Structure 1
Amino acid sequence: MANPYRHMLANPGAVALMITSFFIKLPQAMVSIGLITMLVQHQKLYWLAGGVAATYTLVNAFLSPQISKLVDRLGQSRVLPFVTAFSLIMLLILLGCVHLNAALPWYFIFAALSGTMPNMSAMARARWAELFRGRSMLHTAFSLDSVLTEAAYVIGPTLAIGLSTSLFAEAGPLLAVVILIFGLTVFLCQRKSEPRVNKNAPYQKGSALAIPSIRLILLSFIAMGTIGGSVDVVVVAFAKAQHIAQAASFILAAYAFGSMVAGLVFGLVRVKIPMENQLLISAIATSVTIILPAISPNVMIMTGAAFIAGMSFAPTVVIVMSLCSLILPSSKLTEGITWVSTGLGCGVALGGMLSGRVIDSFGARAGFCVPVLAGFVVVFAAILGMRVLRQGQASLKEIEVSAT
Structure 2
Amino acid sequence: MTLADHPPATAPPTATYGAVLGSRHVARLLAGTLTGRLPNSMVPVGLVLWITGGGGSLAFAGMLAALYGLASGLSQPVKGRLMDRHGQARVSAPAVLLNAGCLAALPLIGAGGQPTVVTAVVGFAGLVTPPLEAGLRALWPTVLPDLGRRRVVQALDTGSQGLLYIVGPLLASWLATAHGPDTALTTTAALGLVGTAVVLTAAPSQTWRPPAADGAAGRGRLMSAGLIQLFTALAGTGFAFGAMNVWAAGMAGTHGLAMFSGVLPAAFSTGSFLGSLIYARRARPGPPATQLITTSALFLLGWMPLLTQPGPRTAIVFTAVPGLFYTLIITNGFHTVDVLAPPSRTTEAYAWLILSVGTGQAAGTALAAALATRLYVLAALPAAGAATALTILALARRDLGTTSPRGRHRRPRQHPNHGNHGNHRSNLPPHERDTYVPVVGSPGHQAVRNGAPAYASAAAQEEWLAATRGQEQRAARARAEWFGKSPLEGTRAQAGPQWRPPARMGPRAAAQDASGGPSPSGTSGQQLRTP
TM-score (norm 1): 0.91
Pair 1:106-2:117 in alignment: yes
Give 1:180's match in structure 2, choosing from 192, 205, 211: 192
Deviation string 1:12-56 (CA, Å, 9 cap, x unpaired) is 212221221221222222222322232222234121011112222
Alignment correspondent of 1:383: 394
Aligned length: 400
Deviation string 1:265-309 (CA, Å, 9 cap, x unpaired) is 101123133221111111111111112223233111111111112
The structural deviation recorded for 1:392 is 8.9
Deviation string 1:323-354 (CA, Å, 9 cap, x unpaired) is 22232233111111111011111222111111
Q: In terms of mean alpha carbon deviation, does 52-61 or 194-203 score higher?
A: 194-203
Pair 1:40-2:59 in alignment: no
| Rounded Cα–Cα distance in structure 2 between residues aligned with 1:257 and 1:156 | 14
Counterpart AA for 1:343: S
Alignment correspondent of 2:482: none
Alignment correspondent of 2:103: 91
The structural deviation recorded for 1:211 is 2.3
| Rounded Cα–Cα distance in structure 1 between residues aligned with 2:404 and 2:75 | 27
Q: In terms of mean alpha carbon deviation, does 347-356 or 4-13 score higher?
A: 4-13
| Rounded Cα–Cα distance in structure 2 between residues aligned with 1:253 and 1:394 | 34
**SS of the residue aligned with 2:258?**
coil
Pair 1:365-2:365 in alignment: no
Contact 1:8 1:14 in 2 (8 A): yes
The structural deviation recorded for 1:314 is 1.0
5 Å matches for 1:315-334?
Answer: 315-334=328-347
Higher relative contact order (CA 8 A, sep 6+): 1
The structural deviation recorded for 1:207 is 4.8
The structural deviation recorded for 1:78 is 1.7
- Percent of aligned positions with the same letter in both sequences? 19
Pair 1:64-2:76 in alignment: yes
The structural deviation recorded for 1:199 is 4.0
Counterpart AA for 2:400: L
Alignment correspondent of 1:217: 230
Alignment correspondent of 2:149: 137
Alignment correspondent of 1:236: 249
| Rounded Cα–Cα distance in structure 1 between residues aligned with 2:247 and 2:154 | 29
Instruction: Decide which structure has greater helix share.
Output: 1
Counterpart AA for 1:322: H
| Rounded Cα–Cα distance in structure 2 between residues aligned with 1:217 and 1:255 | 23
Contact 2:29 2:198 in 1 (8 A): no
Give 1:205's match in structure 2, choosing from 210, 213, 219: 219
TM-score (norm 2): 0.70
Pair 1:73-2:85 in alignment: yes
Contact 1:258 1:307 in 2 (8 A): yes
Change in 2 beyond 3 A, CA 1:264/1:394: closer
Pair 1:6-2:18 in alignment: yes
Alignment correspondent of 1:287: 300
Deviation string 1:121-174 (CA, Å, 9 cap, x unpaired) is 112222223323562211101111112211222211111122123321223332
Counterpart AA for 2:87: G
| Rounded Cα–Cα distance in structure 1 between residues aligned with 2:107 and 2:354 | 27
The structural deviation recorded for 1:395 is 7.9
Change in 2 beyond 3 A, CA 1:161/1:83: same
Alignment correspondent of 2:433: none
| Rounded Cα–Cα distance in structure 1 between residues aligned with 2:97 and 2:473 | 37
Change in 2 beyond 3 A, CA 1:323/1:377: same
| Unpaired segments ≥5 residues, structure 1 | none
| Rounded Cα–Cα distance in structure 2 between residues aligned with 1:69 and 1:322 | 19
Contact 1:41 1:165 in 2 (8 A): no
Pair 1:26-2:38 in alignment: yes
| Rounded Cα–Cα distance in structure 1 between residues aligned with 2:184 and 2:362 | 21
| Rounded Cα–Cα distance in structure 2 between residues aligned with 1:12 and 1:386 | 36
Change in 2 beyond 3 A, CA 1:133/1:153: farther
Contact 1:125 1:145 in 2 (8 A): no
Deviation string 1:35-85 (CA, Å, 9 cap, x unpaired) is 223222223412101111222222222212101100110100122111221
| Unpaired segments ≥5 residues, structure 2 | 1-12, 414-464, 475-531
Q: In terms of mean alpha carbon deviation, does 342-351 or 257-266 score higher?
A: 342-351
**SS of the residue aligned with 1:170?**
helix
5 Å matches for 1:228-267?
Answer: 228-267=241-280
| Rounded Cα–Cα distance in structure 2 between residues aligned with 1:179 and 1:49 | 22
Counterpart AA for 2:380: C
Contact 1:235 1:248 in 2 (8 A): yes
Between structure 1 and structure 2, the one with the greater Rg is 2
| Rounded Cα–Cα distance in structure 1 between residues aligned with 2:198 and 2:368 | 40
Contact 1:256 1:307 in 2 (8 A): yes
Q: In terms of mean alpha carbon deviation, does 124-133 or 52-61 score higher?
A: 124-133
| Rounded Cα–Cα distance in structure 2 between residues aligned with 1:395 and 1:273 | 13
For the aligned residue pairs, the C-alpha RMSD in angstroms reads 2.5
The structural deviation recorded for 1:107 is 1.8
Change in 2 beyond 3 A, CA 1:295/1:112: same
